[in-house]
Chains A and B, each alone.
Chain A
Amino acid sequence: DAGVIQSPRHEVTEMGQEVTLRCKPISGHNSLFWYRQTMMRGLELLIYFNNNVPIDDSGMPEDRFSAKMPNASFSTLKIQPSEPRDSAVYFCASNIGDRGALNTEAFFGQGTRLTVV
C-alpha cells in the first residue's frame, strides 16, 4: 500500500477563493482524521470520520470549513471562502480503529501546505 495520499502537496490561493484538499486513506482503515498544523496552535484535530460517517467535527474552526467522505477511499476538506489565517499544513491520517476502539496507530499523509495570500 502507498500509504495515505494527499493532494495537492502545495496550494497557494488568493483570499476569498475556494480551496479543496483531498485524501485517500489506507485501504481497510475504518477511521479518517483531518488535522491542521501551525506553529502557534500545534497539531489540531478538525474532524474525524468512522466508516465514512462524521463522528466529531468540534474542531472545525468555522462554517467556512466543511469535510466530506463519500466513500471509504476518498475524503475532502473544503475551505470557502479562504482567509490568510487559514494558512497552515493540513494533514490527513487514517487508522484501523473503529467505534469503541478508536485509538490505534494513525498513519499520516504527506500533508498539504496551504498559503492564502
Chain B
Amino acid sequence: EIVLTQSPGTLSLSPGERATLSCRASQIVSSTAFAWYQQKPGQAPSLVIYLTSNRAPGVPDRFSASGSGTEFTLTISRLEPEDFAVYYCQQYADSPSTFGQGTRLEIK
C-alpha cells in the first residue's frame, strides 16, 4: 500500500502568514485522486481539497493545493484564526486508500 508521510508534524505560524503543508507518497500516485482534510478539536474531519487541487464547497480561496507523482502540497495563503487545525492528506487513487499521519497547524 502507499504510505503517505506528512511534513512538518507541527507547523507554528501567525495569522496572516502563509502555510505550506507537504505530503510525500512512498510510490507514485497513479492519478489525481488526492485529498486534504481539516480537523478541529472535537469535530469530524472536513474535506478541503479533492482531486489534488479542487476546493470542496464552502472552502475559501486562500486554500490551494497541487501535486503529482509522489509530492503533494496544501497551501493556505493568509492564515485566519479558524484555519488552525490538524490537516490530513489522503490518496484514493490506488487500493487501498491511505491517509497521512497529519500536520498540526498551531498558532505561534
Chain B binds chain A:
no
